[in-house]
A and B are shown apart, each in its own frame.
Chain A
Amino acid sequence: MSNQLDLECRQLVKSFGKFTAVDNVSLEIPKGSFFSILGPSGCGKTTLLRMLAGFIEPTAGDIVIKEQSMLGVPPNKRPVNMVFQHLALFPMMNVAENIAYGLKRRKLPQAEIDKKVADVLERVSLPDAGPKDVTQLSGGQRQRIAIARSLVLEPAVLLLDEPLGALDLKLREHMKVELKQLQHEVGTTFVYITHDQSEALVMSDNVAVMNEGRFEQVGSPQDLYYNPKTAFVAGFVGDSNRWSGRVDSLDNGQALVSLDDGGVIAGITGNERVLNAGDRVELFVRPEAITIERDSSAQTGAHIEDGQNTLSGIVENLLFDGANSRAQVRDQQTGHQVTVSLPQTGAFSDLKSGEQLRLSWGIDKARAYVSQTGTPQAGLGEEQAA
C-alpha cells in the first residue's frame, strides 16, 4: 500500500507560444499524503494545478491518476476536485445545494444525497449551515464549505489553489492547523499550491519547490529547510543571510570563501556538487544558526576563529516579535547586514541598537552553492522582488 500512487506526472510540459510555463515536471504523490507545491507567483504552479484538474491540456507528458492516464479526459470526468482560490461557491444556491451539486450530477437518490451532505457538514463542524445562504457565512466558514463541497465527492485527489490567501492572518494560522487535521482524518490525498512557505511547511508531508516552471527540490519540510539543494531553495524557504564570494581553497570538504565585500567565511557545499577553487559561490546562513555574544573588543571582519566563523558588528535594528525576535547587525568593515535570531531565553532582551555584538556560527551551518552562469547578482535581485 505504501508505494501505491494516487497521482503521477511524467515529464509534464506546457508551453504558451514561446513561453514554457511548466518545464518537464515529474512527480509522484503517494496515497493519502499532503503534498504542497511552493513557488513565487508566476512560477507555473497554477498552470500545473489546472493541468491536473483538466482545465488545460499538457503540451507533452502524461498525468496518471489511480493508474489511469488523464490525457483527453475532461475535468468533469476526472476523479479530482479542486478548491478554487476564491472558492467559487455558487451564490445562487444555499450551502446544502452547493454541496449537493456534484452528488446530483452523479444521479444519487435524494435520501442518500441528504445523508452525505449532513455527514460532510458534520465533518467540517458546520452541522447547521445547510439552509444558510453562502453570503451569510464568514470567510473561514466559506472555506470549509468549499472544501466540503469537493470532499463529499470522495475524490482520489483534492487540489487546493491557495485557498487561504483571502483570509486574515489569524484565521489563516487557524485554518492551516484545521486543514492538516482534516486531511489526516479523511485520508484523501491533498495537492496544495501556495506561495506562502509557512503554509507549505506547516501542513505538508512533502513539498515541491517550483521556480521558472521546474521543480527545484522535492522533499519533506525538514529536508527543504535544513538541506536545501539549490541556492533558490535556500533563499526561498525560510530566511537566510546571504553572501557571495569566490572559493579560495578547499580543506577536507570545507571551502574557504573570500567574500566580495571582504572577509572570509568557511562553509560546506550545499548539494552534491563538488566545489573547486576559483568557483563563484553564494553562501547561506540561517539567522537562528548564529550565536551572539556581547563584545567590546576591536572590530573584526568575517574570519575563522576556533573552528567557527566569526564576525563582529553593530546592532542596527531590533525587530521584536515575541519568540521570533531578530536583530539586524551591520558589519562595520564591509557594510554587509546580517540578521540574527535572538535567543528565546530572553538573555538579550535588554539589547539596544548601537551595541557591538560578536556573531559566530559553525562551518557546517554555512552552505555554499555554485552561482549560475556567473551572474549571481541578477538572480538575487529577482528573488528578492518575488
Chain B
Amino acid sequence: MSTLQMVSGTEKSTTIPMIKLGTFLLMLPLLLWLFLLIILPHLDLLTVSLREKLGYREYAFSFQNYIEFFTEPLYWNTFVRTAVMSIVATAITLVVGFPVSYYIAKVLKGKKRNLLFMMCLIPFWVSELVRTFGWMILLRESGVISSFLQWAGLVDGPVELLYSDATLMVGLVYTSMLFMVVPLVSVLDTLDDSLIEAGYDLGGSTYSILREIVIPHAMPGIASGCIVVFMLTLGNYLTPTLLGGKDSLWFTEQIYNQFITRFNWESGSAFGFLLLFLSSAIVFVGLKLSRQTLADTVK
C-alpha cells in the first residue's frame, strides 16, 4: 500500500512516513537499549524466578522462591535493614547536601562557584572502588586515624573504625553526595534571588523563607535527588561489602550470594525482582508523602 502511494506521490503521503522513519531511527538506540538491556533480561529473570529446580534440567512452575523470601526471617530482615539504612542515608545526604548546594547556587558567584562545584565532582573521576579503599586506609586498625589517635596519646591501643554501621553510613553518604548536589544546585539556580529578598522584605525570618519559599521551589530537585540516592544506595554492593564487612547484611549481598556462592539462580532472580518492586513501592510512598509526581522530578 505504501509503495503505491509513494509512486503516486502526493506530498503529504511521502513526507509523513519520512518524518516517522527519522524519529524511529533517532529513537532506535534508546529502544534497543531499553529492550535488550532492560526488558529482555528482566523477562528472563522473571521466568527463572518463577520456576523450581526439580532435578538436572528439570524445572516446574512455582512461587517457591518468593515464598522462601517471606518465610525465612534472615532474608526478610536483611531487606528491611537495607531499606531503612538506605532511607536514613538518603535523609543524611539531603541534610548535608542541601546547605552545600545552596551555598554553591546562591551564595557564591562566578569563579569560586565553579571551583567549588568542580571540587564536588572531582572525587567521582576516581573509581568507586579506589575511593572506598581510600576510606579503608583512613579507618582501619592500622590506618591513618587510628595511628594519629595513638600518637596523640588519646587511645592506648589501635582502634578499629571499619565494619560498623556508622562507617557504612559515612561511606554511603559520601558515595551518594554528588547525585544529591547536582539536581539541587540546578533547581536552586532557577530560584530568583528577588524572591528571597522579597521574603525578607515582607518580614520573613531565614527559617520561614527556607520553609515557605526555598524548599517548595526546590521540591522537584529534592525529590529527584532523593530517588536517585535512595536507588543507588539500595542497590550499592561495593560500599557495604568493603566498609560494612561480613556483618553488613546488605540485600545486594544476598542476591550476590544466591547467584554466585549458592549458584541458586532461581532464588537470586526472585530476590532481584523483590528488590525492584519494594524499592519502587518505597519511592511511590515517598512521592505521595511529599506530594510530588514522578513527572515533576524530571522537569
Contact = CB atoms under 8 A, between A and B. Distances in A.
Nearest to B192: A88
A234 interface: no
Contact of A76 (B194, B201, B216, B217): B201
Contacts of B201: 53-54, 75-76, 80-82, 150
Interface residues of A, number: 25
Interface stretch (A99-107, A268-276, A322-330, A368-376): A99-107
Contact of B208 (A74, A77, A105): A105
Contacts of A53: 197, 201
B198 A82 contact: yes
Contacts of A320: none
B204 A105 contact: yes
Interface in A116-168: 149-150, 153
A77 B203 CA distance: 6
Given A84-B194, A86-B192, A88-B194, A75 B200 contact: yes
A386 interface: no
Interface in A83-102: 84-86, 88, 90-93, 101-102
B213 A90 contact: yes
A90 B194 CA distance: 10
A32 to B, nearest CB: 21
Nearest to A82: B201
Contacts of A74: 200
Given A92-B216, A92-B217, A150 B202 contact: yes
Contacts, number: 63
Contacts of A77: 203
B194 A55 contact: no
B21 interface: no
Nearest to B205: A76
A58 B216 CA distance: 33
Interface residues of B, number: 17
A178 to B, nearest CB: 22
Given A86-B194, A88-B192, A88-B194, A149 B216 contact: no
Interface in B185-209: 192, 194-195, 197-205, 208
Contacts of A90: 195, 198-199, 212-213
Contact of A84 (B197, B205, B213, B217): B197
Nearest to A53: B201
B199 A101 contact: yes
B212 A88 contact: no
Contacts of A150: 201-202
Contacts of A106: 203
A12 B202 CA distance: 24
Nearest to B204: A105
Interface in B120-172: none
Contacts of A75: 197, 200-201
A16 to B, nearest CB: 14
B119 to A, nearest CB: 27
A93 B204 CA distance: 15
Contact of B195 (A54, A80, A82, A88): A88
Contact of A153 (B195, B200, B202): B202
Contacts of B204: 76, 101-102, 105
Nearest to A152: B202
B293 to A, nearest CB: 15
A80 B216 CA distance: 26
Which has the most chain A C-beta neighbours within 10 Å: B202, B203, B208? Answer: B202
B203 A84 contact: no
Contacts of B205: 76, 105
B292 to A, nearest CB: 13
Which has the most chain B C-beta neighbours within 10 Å: A86, A91, A149? Answer: A91
B234 to A, nearest CB: 30
Given A55-B197, A92-B213, A92-B217, A102 B203 contact: yes
Contact of B202 (A55, A91, A92, A149): A149
Contacts of B208: 105
Which has the most chain A C-beta neighbours within 10 Å: B208, B212, B216? Answer: B212
Contacts of A84: 194, 197-198
Contacts of B197: 53, 55, 75, 82, 84, 88
B213 to A, nearest CB: 6
A44 B202 CA distance: 24
Which has the most chain B C-beta neighbours within 10 Å: A53, A82, A93? Answer: A82
A299 B179 CA distance: 80
B216 A101 contact: no
A81 B202 contact: yes
A150 B203 CA distance: 10
16 contacts: A54-B200, A55-B200, A74-B200, A76-B202, A76-B203, A76-B204, A81-B202, A82-B198, A86-B194, A88-B197, A90-B199, A90-B212, A101-B212, A105-B204, A150-B201, A150-B202
Given A76-B203, A88-B194, 17 more contacts: A75-B200, A75-B201, A76-B204, A77-B203, A82-B197, A82-B198, A84-B194, A84-B197, A90-B198, A90-B199, A91-B217, A92-B216, A93-B212, A102-B202, A102-B203, A105-B204, A149-B202
Top 5 closest A-B pairs, CB basis?
A: A102-B202, A88-B198, A92-B216, A88-B194, A105-B203
